[in-house]
Amino acid sequence: MRTIDTLGDLRGKRVLVRSDFNVPLKDGVITDDGRIKAALPTLTRLVEAGAKVVILAHLGRPKGEVKPEFSLAPVAKRLGELIDAPVTLASDVVGDSAQAVVASLGEGEIALLENVRYDARENSKDDAARAELAAEYAKLADVFVSDGFGVVHRKQASVYDVAKLLPSAAGELVVKEIESLRRATDNPERPYGVVLGGSKVSDKLGVIKNLLEKADFLLIGGGMAYTFLAAQGYSVGTSLLEKDQIDTVKGYIETAAAKGVDLVLPVDTVVALEFKADAPASVVDADAIPDDQMGLDIGPKTAKLFADKIASAKTVAWNGPMGVFEMEAFAAGTKAVAQALSESSCFSVIGGGDSAAAVRQLGFDESTFSHISTGGGASLELLEGKTLPGIAVLED
């Protein structure tokens, strides 16, 4: 994979950088700036090299329309605060404002173009439409740096197509993401464990299939665990259940047994009558969930079981929370997994998305984990063993 080192002297050159600034907002205020901070090593390096930095990014899903609530203005403001320098925001994607802003850039200065998803061509399924927009991006720059790991699994104009038109390379963040995730999947130090959670087992089918060929153990929590429990013949009450996946899950349980992979399911669960933060909760064994109640977190015995397995591992990848961690009553399972990883000396990779959000929300020191990914979907596809278009285009 080509890196910034391959681009040569960048002083005075216009460097187009694809970043992932799809940050959560509440009332126009950024509630988690982790993705912006993750972009700083690349941006700082380019600024110090004397480049004229032009950032492409998206926010939300405006679906090809200009919608003020998806403007990158809060991002430009926060980025400026973090680098202690002004960041000019163009009012359009590739129009008159973008062209004027880029033309006015001096060496070591940064500009941010408006939300690329304001232009419907950005993520069009029509190759020609994307190529047309990519050509307009390319006119604004001399080289391209791909640093938005959260979008490298997408074949989009600012991720894939423009990389074919300009000398291109991976930024510091993308290099770190790929190295860390490949270390945790391609040739992991053993014992190698994977913790999977989240709501739907259907979202993780490819991951489970791939990891049954690689992992020494799989810990299954979150909403997806109830489909596994149902596959074992247990009643799961009103818990989240994908009935159409029960046969597939039975097959995975059999495959794990045949391959000697330790597939660990919850032995107890926290249940409540309703999906509410203040719903009275209780702990029951996994085979004794009341018909009128739903599982919303792994129970304390399961949490200890999972923590002990994590403590035995040399490499652990985690993707998906163990319960509804946003609600205090159902956060203990996710917290226990995070705590075990935080205290372990293993090489630990937190697979972005809700898992990364949980680590931050629950107050863990991020430096106690080997790597926290910025891309939920991209990291998931790497765990599946898929080729990511935005990475493939940067490889010689």
Q: Is residue 123 part of an annotated ligand binding site? A: no
How many angstroms separate the CA atoms of 352 and 72, rounded?
22
Catalytic residue among 13, 18, 35, 78: 35
For 16, the 3-state DSSP assignment is strand
Q: Is residue 295 part of an annotated ligand binding site? A: yes
Q: Is residue 35 part of an annotated ligand binding site? A: yes
DSSP H/E element including 94 = none
376 annotated active-site: no
Tokens of 347: 């090489």
Q: Among residues 18, 33, 13, 170, which one has the least CA distance to residue 93?
A: 18
Residue 313 CB coordination number (10 Å): 26
Contacts for 151 with CB less than 8 Å, ≥ 6 apart: 18, 20, 58, 158, 159, 375, 378, 390
How many angstroms separate the CA atoms of 316 and 326, rounded?
23
Q: Is residue 28 part of an annotated ligand binding site? A: no
Q: Are 378 and 152 in contact (CB under 8 A)?
A: yes
Instruction: Count CA atoms closer than 13 A to 300's CA, side-chain side.
Output: 5
How many angstroms separate the CA atoms of 144 and 147, rounded?
10
Q: Is residue 45 part of an annotated ligand binding site? A: no
Q: Is residue 360 part of an annotated ligand binding site? A: no
Q: Is residue 371 part of an annotated ligand binding site? A: no
Q: Is residue 21 part of an annotated ligand binding site? A: yes
DSSP H/E element including 144 = strand 143-146
35 annotated active-site: yes
Catalytic residue among 353, 375, 376, 390: 353
Q: Is residue 353 part of an annotated ligand binding site? A: yes
Q: Is residue 14 part of an annotated ligand binding site? A: no
Catalytic residue among 45, 77, 200, 250: 200
Q: Is residue 204 part of an annotated ligand binding site? A: yes
Q: Is residue 221 part of an annotated ligand binding site? A: no
377 annotated active-site: yes
233 annotated active-site: no
Q: Is residue 78 part of an annotated ligand binding site? A: no
Q: Estimate to the nearest angstrom the gap between the alpha carbon of 228 and the chain centroid.
A: 24
Q: Is residue 117 part of an annotated ligand binding site? A: yes
Distances (CA, A) of 269 to 30, 296, 337: 34, 7, 15
Which residue type does 69 have? E
Tokens of 267: 């032995």
How many angstroms separate the CA atoms of 380 and 396, rounded?
24
Q: Is residue 61 part of an annotated ligand binding site? A: yes
Q: Is residue 181 part of an annotated ligand binding site? A: no
Q: Are 85 and 110 in contact (CB under 8 A)?
A: yes
Catalytic residue among 64, 206, 377, 385: 377
Q: Are 315 and 190 in contact (CB under 8 A)?
A: yes
How many angstroms separate the CA atoms of 377 and 184, rounded?
16
Taken in order 270, 274, 279, 282, the sign of the CA dihedral is: negative
Taking each helix axis from N to C end, the angle separating 332-343 and 353-361, rounded to the nearest 10 degrees, works out to 90
Q: Is residue 219 part of an annotated ligand binding site? A: no
Q: Summarize the annotated binding site as residue ranges.
A: 20-22, 35, 58-61, 117, 154, 204, 295, 326, 352-355
* Binding-site residues for ATP: 204, 295, 326, 352-355
Q: Would you list which residues are annotated within the binding site for substrate?
A: 20-22, 35, 58-61, 117, 154
Catalytic residues: 35, 200, 353, 377
Q: Which residues are annotated as a binding site for (2R)-3-phosphoglycerate?
A: 35, 117, 154
